[in-house]
Structure 1
Amino acid sequence: MEIETQYHTEDDGFAGAISHSADIIEDFPEGAEEGTPFQEVFASTPADETTEAVPVEPALHISSDKRMGIHYFPDHKHYGQGALQKWLPAIQSLGVNWITLPAPLDRAIPDEFISGLISSDIQPVLQFDIPLTEEYSVEDFAALFRAYASWGVRYAVLFDRPNLRSQWPGVAWTQRGLVDNFLDKFIPLAQAARQAGLTPVFPALEPGGDYWDTAFLRSALEGLQGRGENELLASLVLGAYAWTRDRSMTWGAGGPENWPATMPYHTPEGSEDHMGFRIFDWYNAISRAVTGSVLPIILVAAGVQRENSQARDAQPVRRAIAMAESLQRAPSDTHNNRVPANVLACNFWLLCAAEDSPSSIHSWFRYQTAKPNQQGEEWLDWNAPKAKSAAVAQPVAAVPPATSSNLSAGSKGITKAQTLAHYMLLPHAEHWPMDTVRSFLESHQAAVGTSLEQALAASRVTLAGGLEAYPDETLRTLIQAGCAVDNLQAA
């Protein structure tokens, strides 16, 4: 494999030297020279004046008082029975309307958990941390996407920080065209998400990173444009990490137009860069330069540093509160203390983590009791005057698994209220017969999930995995509810 010599000095231009390790190979954009400042490169697109502008849809406008969110846990191990009942009151008490949920790759988060959040006016943002080092089946993900979309999920973040060397197998990191290689993986999944009814979110990049994130993002958007992926671009949302790095809340405000001397890997004395809360100003400049318009942005995690090895932010909750106050002001592209309207959500790091997790120092709530710690109390004290009635609502219990003690009660009032045409009932969220589900959904228009309550609302119910996977009481209740029941054996 041919490897091109690297630039790796502090004077590197926008997309020249991508890594100080001399492992990444990327050419400068046409018309840009080594040392070209951000401002000039952003203004130098497209090279071909005859190229048609990408039809980017206007950014969704979210009410300024509904842009705050929280990042749930740093892993996907906390969706079991009782999790919603335990954690929903804590989430509601924060007064948030968004939540980042790390999504398992081999099964779905239970639909009861998802539905409980959505019914509480909290929109999940699913984060699929798909390893770039492994092979995966787009068809398997498509089945997951369809299920999530049928439950009301709208946003799916595909991959995480692909501009880090640690995310790639060694040989792939040294190959020419790393961004193109990433797009080869991203596009099929993004298309599958769109076809399922989800909005694909381009993964949040590590600010800075081994491959400078602004260069990676620009190359990726240009790559999508060059491949004719106009429909995908028109529906795309950008993910971002907004770490404050102990800097002021207005660090880098205004983007490259205000800080034209800043270049990748080099921020001159007296200048500022994108590595702060206002990273969205810089990403907006990139998307505007490439597409002619800004793309919607979701800050999938914001506030303190995510990695335990990095310096911890001072006064993390005070910084989160300052961010929240910026979000709640009327959106503006020109005020440093306000946030542009295309920033849909800012999900603060972190609701909670297990006590043995390195991320536990960032938690706002105690793991064992789901009660606020000192950091959580600071936020609640600030939010108290604005708290919604949901903050004191009774816990919402997740739908329990089918048992003889709860099936009859759960079916009351549903027998003659079927609202779904077809529902595939799964035996357990952790043991999906994925091949069976995928092939079935390819030929049937059916909702899918683990909820007996939703199954009872369907005219026809298909039992995945065979009759033996379900208690007799479940079968009896479905039949008594008037459902036409059939079964599908696992392949």
Structure 2
Amino acid sequence: MTGKVGCNMMNSKTNSESNRLGLHYFQDTLHYSAQDLSVWLPELTRLNASWVVLLSDSNRAIPENFVTGLVEAGIQPIVHFKLQLPDSPSAADLKPILSAYSRWGVKYVVFFDKPNDTSSWSAAGWSHQDLVERFIDRFLPLALEAQRNGLTPVFPPLMPGGSYWDTSFFKSSLQSLSRRGQQHLLNTMAAGVYAYTYGHELSWGMGGPEKWVHSRPYLTPTGSEDQRGFNNYEWVGKLAAAAGINNMPIIQFGAGIKQPGSYYSPEVHAEMVEAMLSLINDVEELESAHAIVACNFWLLAADPDSEEYPQSWVKSEGSTLPIVRVLAPAAKRVASPDPSPIQPDAQLPKTDGTSPQALSFSIEHYLLLPVYEWGLAEWHLDVTRPFIRKYKPTVGFSLKEAAMARKVTIIGGDKDFSAEEISKLRDLGCLVDQISGDGTSIATQLLER
């Protein structure tokens, strides 16, 4: 797991020059109306986001009012053209759109997506030789056109690993641009990376290729680590430095998930996002994080009938993932007025039903066990012992004590704790992870935490 982390950096950094928090927007180009801006700009603001990734068509620009509304609010759009390969528009085709984006305040534009993966190419296009050279043939004119219009082109994020190994693809791309005399572009463009964790710890791959010298394309020996994790950005930065490009700006995409189609539980997701933000903002401890311009998390919003909807932070009906209650100012809490001892049968603090209770988290992690009329279940204590040794939570039997914890792990089902009681904990801003079942099932689930 991720350990205990803080995110106080969100309180003091409120602009895109210092705040790296960003979010992906809808995965279509249909939500750019004035009404959409009035709905989603307040959500981005309350999350203290400074970046948002917007998808753009190649034949029409995102409406000016939508773009300028974000920019004026201090939120910088990163415009992503997810163009299919090998067919793509010419620089002349995109010039009017790029010129408009520049006038409206956009700074970064991304061309293409995962060009090292078969999913981004037609079958015929992928099968031809010299894949990297043919990609650069298409990327270079668009990148130069972006620069001519005062925009910073972003080398597209590659699929970690991928059909064509990503580190090899990136290294060959830099070499191709250098051979073509594009040193100015190399020294001024940014690079996109996917921050998927693949279920690894956030320390996976830290140190880059200089540390994990035995890792090779398509081969990660036992005991070694590779770039397929949150620290992918560090590997990209080291490859750029080896090519003579120091401090290449990095923009992270897709943060907060294991990989497309594989996601964390809502409670674990909240912990992961907090830990990621803590890592990239602790630049004194993690020097390589200086290069990160923005860390864009998956996903602010999605249509209810889309496959992305379960991962959207804010739902159309108004509910949210737990991470929203952690980051949003409305969910922050102040000191509790009740320091008195708490009895096991004490009730939760009452809420007004509309917003979280304004109380402080005096406990970091609370393991809540059920109490029965006949006493405590010894097997609950036995089965949770490895978990307690690993995470050192406060252990207790009181819902009211649990309400003072940032995270609450509950052992027991609906017969032990009612849905209403658990809902009240969530309303108070607690990250709740409920584990139920028989002894073997509970032990297995705890080992997966």
- Pair 1:377 & 2:377 matched: no
- Pair 1:182 & 2:135 matched: yes
- Pair 1:297 & 2:250 matched: yes
How many residue pairs match? The answer is 319
Equivalent position SS for 2:308:
helix
Give deviations 1:212-234, integer Å, cap 9, x for gaps.
11110000001000110112112
- How far apart, in 1, do the equivalents of 2:164 and 2:333 lie? 44
**TM-score under structure 1 length normalisation:** 0.62
Residue correspondence of structure 1 range 283-322 to structure 2 within 5 A: 283-305=236-258, 307-308=260-261, 311-314=262-265, 315-322=268-275
- Pair 1:340 & 2:289 matched: yes
1:107 offset after TM fit, Å? 1.1
Of residues 103, 127, 148 in structure 2, which corresponds to 1:195? 148
- Pair 1:134 & 2:87 matched: yes
1:138 offset after TM fit, Å? 2.1
1:361 offset after TM fit, Å? 1.5
Equivalent position SS for 2:157:
coil
- How far apart, in 2, do the equivalents of 1:345 and 1:198 lie? 16
1:434 aligned residue: none
- Pair 1:71 & 2:71 matched: no
**TM-score under structure 2 length normalisation:** 0.67
Equivalent position SS for 2:228:
coil
Residue correspondence of structure 1 range 436-447 to structure 2 within 5 A: none
2:98 aligned residue: 145
- Pair 1:349 & 2:298 matched: yes
Equivalent position SS for 1:257:
helix
- How far apart, in 2, do the equivalents of 1:385 and 1:84 lie? 28
- Pair 1:122 & 2:78 matched: no
Letter in 2 for 1:208: G
Structure 1 range deviating more: 180-189 or 93-102: 93-102
Pair 64,188 (structure 1): closer, same or farther in 2 beyond 3 Å:
closer
Equivalent position SS for 2:195:
strand
1:262 aligned residue: 215
Pair 214,178 (structure 1): closer, same or farther in 2 beyond 3 Å:
same
- Pair 1:87 & 2:40 matched: yes
Identity across the alignment (%): 37
Residue correspondence of structure 1 range 242-257 to structure 2 within 5 A: 242-257=195-210
1:103 offset after TM fit, Å? 1.3
- How far apart, in 2, do the equivalents of 1:186 and 1:64 lie? 27
Segments of structure 2 that go 5 or more residues without pairing to the other structure are 1-14, 335-449
Residue correspondence of structure 1 range 206-217 to structure 2 within 5 A: 206-217=159-170
Give deviations 1:220-261, integer Å, cap 9, x for gaps.
001000110112112110001101122111110010111111
2:364 aligned residue: none
- Pair 1:365 & 2:345 matched: no
Residue correspondence of structure 1 range 410-449 to structure 2 within 5 A: none
- How far apart, in 2, do the equivalents of 1:186 and 1:66 lie? 29
Segments of structure 1 that go 5 or more residues without pairing to the other structure are 1-61, 387-491
- How far apart, in 2, do the equivalents of 1:321 and 1:263 lie? 31
Matched-pair contact (CA < 8 Å) for 1:64–1:328: no
1:378 offset after TM fit, Å? 3.9
Matched-pair contact (CA < 8 Å) for 1:65–1:327: no
- How far apart, in 2, do the equivalents of 1:71 and 1:351 lie? 6
Equivalent position SS for 2:159:
coil
Equivalent position SS for 1:127:
strand
Matched-pair contact (CA < 8 Å) for 2:152–2:188: yes
